[in-house]
A and B are shown apart, each in its own frame.
Chain A
Amino acid sequence: MTRFVIRRVLYMIPTLIAISFVAFIIIQLPPGSFLTAYVASLQKSGQTVDSAQLAALKQRYGLDHGFVVQYWKWISGIVFHLDFGQSFEYNRPVSSLLKSRLPLTIALGACTLLFSWAIALPSGIYSAVRKYSIGDYLVTMLCFLGVAVPGFLIALVAAYLEFSVFHWSVGGLLSPQFTGAQWNLGKILDWLRHFWLPVVIIGAEGTAGVIRVLRANLLDELHKPYVVTARSKGLSERRLIGKYPVRIALNPFVSTVGWVLPGLINGEVIVSSVLGLNTTGPLLLGGLQGQDMYLAGSIILVISTLTVVGTLLSDIALAAIDPRIRVQYV
């Protein structure tokens, strides 16, 4: 097992390097250096541009040098000093912005993952065991819809309903009257009321995918000889299904985390923008629109890294529950 974990962690390093390259390419893509954009925005607001400050910035980001030097200055700052550069739009270090936004993104992602498991497990088992029942058709239909309806559309419709039917405040995670208040029961309840909606919306697509995989896998298992044997021994149906085939069919639950996570991040970016949540998604969007490239590139780097680490954790968990996977790597 230790060997497996070490191998898997080593495999991750080239992926992370590749991710950092892609993020840096995105930073470099817009025409002109970010400094020209910065100077333009300063001049637009009527401020004077200090040439000494410009020179210092040039020096710091290595703008007179080639791609590799600039990349190295950027990535070494991040790896050794957690220095992600400066956001010119917010006039703050990117790291402080990340610190204020990232926890909510992670909390949202974790809750969404838990939510989609909590929904997918019972519905997947039900629709496999009661194949072709009305419930199964219902689940299948909902899955199709979950994949086909873009998250932001559900978010818009939900926001519309909240606003015009229930007259709730929409946007953000707190009603206006609670924003400055101390944490108390009322505030927590208000927070929860705002929090479940993005969780459900972002989770919809991934849940649908997991249910389909779980159902297909369980259907394969249900007719295997060991199930027949268990049944012939007189085991109750509930016990026999829960004890054997479900455990095997659970593997994809853990292994699908690898592709559910990128989907979660996609959903988070767009749904948070619609619902006005203080996560990294709207920050990324604003950064890209305002050509605040160090901000945008850093967010892409961080959330992609989180995705890869999440996939790593799921692979290790998978190896822990399934000896067959471990054997492949040793």
Chain B
Amino acid sequence: MSDDQVDTTRAPVSQSAGGVVTADVLVEKGEEIYVAPQRKLVWWRFRKHRLAVIGLAITILLYLLAIFSEFAAPTSRDAYNAGLSYAPPQWVHVSFSGSPHIFAYGFTTKVDPNTLERKFTVDKSHKIPLSFFVHGEKYKMWGLFSSDIHLFGAHQGQSYYPIGADQQGRDVLSRIIYGARISLSVGLIGVAFSLVLGILLGGASGYFAGKTDMVVQRFIEFIMSMPTLPLWLGFAAAIPPGWGPIKTYFAITVILSLIGWTGLARVVRGRFLQLRTEDYVLAAELDGVRKPRIILRHMLPAFSSHIIATLTLAIPAMILGETALSFLGLGLQPPVVSWGVLLSDANNLRVVSDAPWLLTPGLFVVIAVLALNFVGDGLRDAADPYSN
């Protein structure tokens, strides 16, 4: 009798809890809300988080840049012009004389005979025409398709530096766009590694509970209590210098994820412990469903959205880790280009004061990290569309 009472008081509460969240959505979606799958509910809720949506748009844009770097960058990664070392940014000008067109001024260079410093003066008589979908330097998209069309820039043979040049006269913007490929993918691959570790260890911890849980938890606490950067540095310093770029790249991502999986493991474990006692899991067990099927079919869907949110929040940490390692010279090495490698050029005050635009890769790091954090926050809030 008392059990019945508890149940009847419980039912309306849980219904109204669902109702509160969906009430405002209910107005616009009407009856659809009752039949919408979870994915749709999460998306509706995510969409209301304005910063998260902006973050998502920026993230997609950055990843598009990374995927189509050859097309998006005005020049190729290593195109250089030693005569234009540390050339300053050339601003875009719009002219309405004749048909409207855009251009940038060229410059004349002079080398100071005493200090050997190169001086740039804007040459107003020399106009470099700019346009979209311009025929510039030849490239091979993903090493497969030949083309010479660039999203924006000057024609073949004209030197144009939208945000300035580095020491060897290479275009900083193009290098940032190529660097996005490495910097952003380190986050994804590193997170994939941590996902495997996190699910295996966190899952085991939450599923077997008891002693296993105790051991894994102490292990996680141990890793979390260590300062990560010195550890990363220590392991990164052991990568043999003879390793090729691809091997080094994977070694770095593995090092980053070896220490970064702990947060994810905690989320997985917490969810496992919570879900194990849910009625529907018990029902499945009583029905004689086998363990793997219970985990994959009944429990996993319930916390996959939480995992995705945690993963999204782990990507920026990886990006920052790679940037710090490469900046300090113990991560990726040139000729590989990542945002951290580019920033390591700026690790010299003399250089920075002459060419402050070498700091712009840092701006991209900040934008990418902020955007991914917003997306992660939004996802975390939307991960459980039935709760408040």
Interface of A toward B, CB cutoff 8 Å: 14-15, 18-19, 22-23, 26, 29-31, 144-145, 147-150, 152-153, 156-157, 159-160, 163-164, 170-171, 258-259, 261-263, 265-266, 269-270, 273-274, 284-285, 288-289, 291, 296-297, 299-300, 303-304, 307-308, 311
Contact = CB atoms under 8 A, between A and B. Distances in A.
B360 to A, nearest CB: 11
Nearest to A11: B218
Contact of A153 (B222, B236, B238, B366): B366
Contacts of B347: 156, 274
A153 B343 contact: yes
A15 B223 CA distance: 9
Given A152-B324, A291-B237, A15 B222 contact: yes
Contact of A163 (B240, B327, B349, B365): B349
B224 A296 contact: no
A156 B359 contact: yes
Contacts, number: 128
Contacts of A147: 369, 373
5 contacts: A147-B373, A148-B373, A262-B227, A285-B328, A291-B237
B226 A304 contact: yes
Contacts of B320: 150
Given A160-B349, A289-B330, A15 B234 contact: no
B228 interface: yes
A21 to B, nearest CB: 11
Interface in B361-381: 362, 365-366, 369-370, 373-374
B352 interface: yes
B362 A285 contact: no
A164 B350 CA distance: 10
Nearest to B330: A288
Given A147-B373, A289-B330, A30 B237 contact: yes
Please provide the 9 A-B residue pairs with the shortest distance between their CB atoms, ordered closest to farther: A29-B238, A265-B227, A26-B234, A266-B229, A288-B237, A262-B227, A148-B369, A153-B362, A148-B370
A21 B319 CA distance: 28
A144 B352 contact: no
Contacts of A31: 240
A304 B373 contact: no
A288 B327 CA distance: 14
Given A18-B222, A299-B230, A26 B235 contact: yes
A22 B226 CA distance: 10
Contact of B235 (A29, A258, A284, A285): A29
Contacts of B237: 26, 29-30, 288-289, 291, 296
A303 B353 CA distance: 34
B323 interface: yes
B233 A284 contact: yes
B18 interface: no
A289 B227 contact: no
Given A156-B346, A270-B324, A285-B328, A148 B230 contact: no
Contacts of A259: 224
Contacts of A263: 227
Contacts of B366: 145, 148-150, 153
Contacts of A296: 234, 237
B2 interface: no
B225 interface: yes
Nearest to A12: B225
A261 B225 CA distance: 8
B353 A160 contact: yes
B370 A157 contact: no
